[in-house]
Amino acid sequence: MKWRKLGQIFDPTDHTLPNNCFGYAQSPQTLVMDDRVRVYFSTRERDPVGKYLSHVAYVDFDRPLQHILGISDHTVIELGKLGCFDEHGIFPVNVIRVEDSIRAYTTGWNRKVSVSADASIGLAISHDEGRTFEKYGSGPVLSASLHEPFLVGDAFVARYDGLYRMWYIYGTNWKKFSENDPPDRVYKIAHATSTDGIDWKREGRQIIADRLNADECQALPTVFYLNGSYHMYFCYRQAHGFRQQSNNAYRLGYACSQDLVNWERDDSQAGIDVAEDGWDSQMQCYPHVFHLDGRVYMLYNGNEFGRHGFGLAVLESA
């Protein structure tokens, strides 16, 4: 794979954001429409106790992805009610067109006491071309299970041969690396299938091999089909010290599959890496690959997990 970077295309601080949000445009994910490309992302409000709440917003680009047409100025998906899985934020969101509606697979966050938070995957449905979404129930479609005990999130859903497939992550461990730091989490990529996109059957295993070590964190898979193979990009990092130290921070990983069951990980084939300097020099994370007008593009976040927005790359050769 060989990607050509087209640079940072959206900085949230240049715009007025909905829901009192002040910055961050994380995990950009697209809905390709007739006259535009709608890019959903999660942006952040600071709540009265000083903690973050992530909200879903979107920015519309013209079809060549050259110009911004507008930004959502309304609530796209409400946060959950008291005690619900998505009470304290929705991040990220993955959208897929299903007949006349648009479905959003959300990762909802709720704060806890012994660890910072837990997450589950929810579903919300839009009947107005993705402008607003109604939750499908107040609970999640995928949450903790016997061998996936917490932090179920980062859904990416695609349909191949009529079957819905979800790639997602699940937590395996909360780990104290030092006396003074709060516990860090470890999570891995998994796979589930469904005939209706609502009731999911888990495959029940980690599908992408670790490369760094057993505590490697793997996140945000995105899958696409090209030249007879399935390709997955994701991000991965060390479990500890990943915020300050660039060496431990997120990088983009790559895996390939012929059958959607067995994945061969080979990060050296990713064809994209952190820059020498600039907005994506410290980290790269939350990749989203999509087809548009005969080309393959990747949206992704750079330094500080997308605090300053996202950038675009185009696939030059595969």
Our CA dihedral for 181, 218, 205, 197, rounded to 10 degrees, sits at 110
Residue 152 beta carbon to another protein: minimum distance, rounded to whole angstroms: 9
- CB-nearer residue toward another protein: 79 or 260: 79
149 binds another protein, rule: CB under 8 A: yes
Taking the C-alpha atoms of residue 23 and residue 28, their distance in angstroms, rounded to an integer, is 14
111 binds another protein, rule: CB under 8 A: yes
Asked whether the beta carbons of 51 and 111 are under 8 A apart, the reply is yes
Write the interaction track for another protein spanning residues 30-69; mark x where CB under 8 A is met and - where it is not: ----------------------------------------
Q: Per CB under 8 A, which region of 3-11, 13-21, 28-36, 146-154 contacts another protein? A: 146-154
Angle, CA 162 vertex, CA 27 and CA 296 arms, to 5° = 40
Asked whether the beta carbons of 9 and 19 are under 8 A apart, the reply is no
Per CB under 8 A, the list member of 5, 68, 134, 139 interacting with another protein is 139
Two structure tokens written together for 180: 């003074």
Per CB under 8 A, the list member of 8, 174, 256, 264 interacting with another protein is 174
Taking the C-alpha atoms of residue 9 and residue 171, their distance in angstroms, rounded to an integer, is 32
- CB-nearer residue toward another protein: 180 or 268: 180
Total Cβ atoms within 10 A of residue 253: 25
Identify residues 194-233 at the interface with another protein (CB under 8 A): 198
145 binds another protein, rule: CB under 8 A: yes
CA distances 99 to 96, 131, 302, Å, are 10, 16, 34
Q: Per CB under 8 A, which region of 60-68, 69-77, 104-112, 256-264 contacts another protein? A: 104-112
292 binds another protein, rule: CB under 8 A: no
Q: Which amino acid is at 298?
A: M
Q: Per CB under 8 A, which region of 90-98, 148-156, 294-302, 309-317 contacts another protein? A: 148-156
Q: Within its chain, how far is the Cα of 122 from the centroid?
A: 14
Q: Within its chain, how far is the Cα of 39 from the centroid?
A: 12
Write the interaction track for another protein spanning residues 253-272; mark x where CB under 8 A is met and - where it is not: --------------------
Two structure tokens written together for 8: 């940072």
Residues contributing to the site for another protein (CB under 8 A): 80-85, 87-88, 110-115, 118, 120, 123, 136-141, 143-150, 171, 174-176, 183, 185, 198
